[in-house]
C-alpha cells in the first residue's frame, strides 16, 4: 500500500467515526430536549395547581375559621424543594381539601367545584407528562449506558438521570419499590 491509500483509508475511518459521533450526540441531545420540555410542562402545571390550592385554601378559611388545614402546604412556596416533592405535597393538600369539603357542606358551590375540576385536568396533564418524562429518561439512560454512546456521554459529562418519582433503579435501595 502506498501512502496515498493509507491517508485515504485514515480519512475515511476518521470520517465514519465522526459521523457516528455526531449521530450519537444528536440522539442524546434529542432525548435531553424531550426531557427538558416535559420538565417545563410539569413545572408550569405544578405552579397552576399550587395557585388553585391556595385559592381553595382561602375559600376553606372563610368557612372553617378554627383551623388552618393547609398552612404547611401554602408555605411550600418559600421552600426549595424538587418538583417531585412539590407534586407529593400538593397531592397531600388535595386529599385534605377533599376531606374538608366532605365535612363542610358550605364548600359545595360552583366556584369551589370548578377549581376542583381544573385540578383534575391538571392532574391528567401531569400524569401524561410524567409518563413521557420517565419514558424518555429511560431511553436516555439506556443510551448513556451502552457502548459506544457511553463514550460520547462521558466526553460531555452526561450522567444517568433519575426518574420523575425520584427513584434510582441503578442503586441498591429496595425502598424505591415501596409506596
Q: What is the pLDDT of residues 131-142, one digit of tens each?
A: 999 999 999 999
Total number of domains constituting the chain: 1
CB within 8 Å of 50: residues ≥ 6 apart: 76, 77, 86, 90
Please tell me the predicted confidence (pLDDT) of residue 173: 43
Mean pLDDT of all residues in 149-161: 91
Asked whether residue 68 carries a pLDDT value surpassing 60, the answer given is: yes
CA 173-175-177 angle, to 5 degrees, is: 110
Q: What percent of the chain has pLDDT over 90?
A: 59
On whether the pTM is more than 0.85, the answer is no
| Per-residue model confidence (pLDDT) at position 33 | 96
pLDDT tens readout for residues 74-113: 888 778 888 889 999 999 999 999 888 888 888 778 888 8
DSSP string, 103-162: H-GGG-SHHHHHHHHHHHHHHHHHHHHHHHHHHHHHHHHHHHHSTTHHHHHHHTT--PPP
Q: Which domain does 12 fall in, by range?
A: 3-177
At 80, give phi and psi (nearest 5°).
-95, 100
Amino acid at each position: 500500500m502506498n501512502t496515498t491509500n493509507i491517508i485515504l483509508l485514515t480519512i475515511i475511518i476518521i470520517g465514519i467515526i465522526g459521523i457516528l459521533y455526531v449521530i450519537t450526540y444528536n440522539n442524546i441531545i434529542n432525548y435531553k430536549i424531550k426531557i427538558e420540555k416535559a420538565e417545563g410542562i410539569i413545572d408550569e402545571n405544578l405552579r397552576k395547581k399550587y395557585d388553585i390550592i391556595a385559592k381553595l385554601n382561602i375559600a376553606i378559611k372563610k368557612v372553617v375559621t378554627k383551623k388552618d388545614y393547609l398552612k404547611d402546604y401554602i408555605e411550600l412556596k418559600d421552600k426549595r424543594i424538587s418538583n417531585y416533592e412539590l407534586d407529593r405535597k400538593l397531592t397531600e393538600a388535595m386529599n385534605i381539601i377533599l376531606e374538608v369539603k366532605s365535612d363542610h357542606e358550605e364548600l359545595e358551590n360552583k366556584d369551589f367545584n370548578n377549581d376542583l375540576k381544573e385540578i383534575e385536568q391538571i392532574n391528567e396533564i401531569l400524569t401524561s407528562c410524567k409518563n413521557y418524562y420517565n419514558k424518555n429518561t429511560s431511553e436516555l439512560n439506556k443510551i448513556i449506558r451502552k457502548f459506544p454512546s457511553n463514550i460520547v456521554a462521558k466526553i460531555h459529562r452526561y450522567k444517568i438521570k433519575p426518574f420523575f418519582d425520584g427513584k434510582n433503579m441503578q442503586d441498591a435501595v429496595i425502598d424505591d419499590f415501596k409506596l
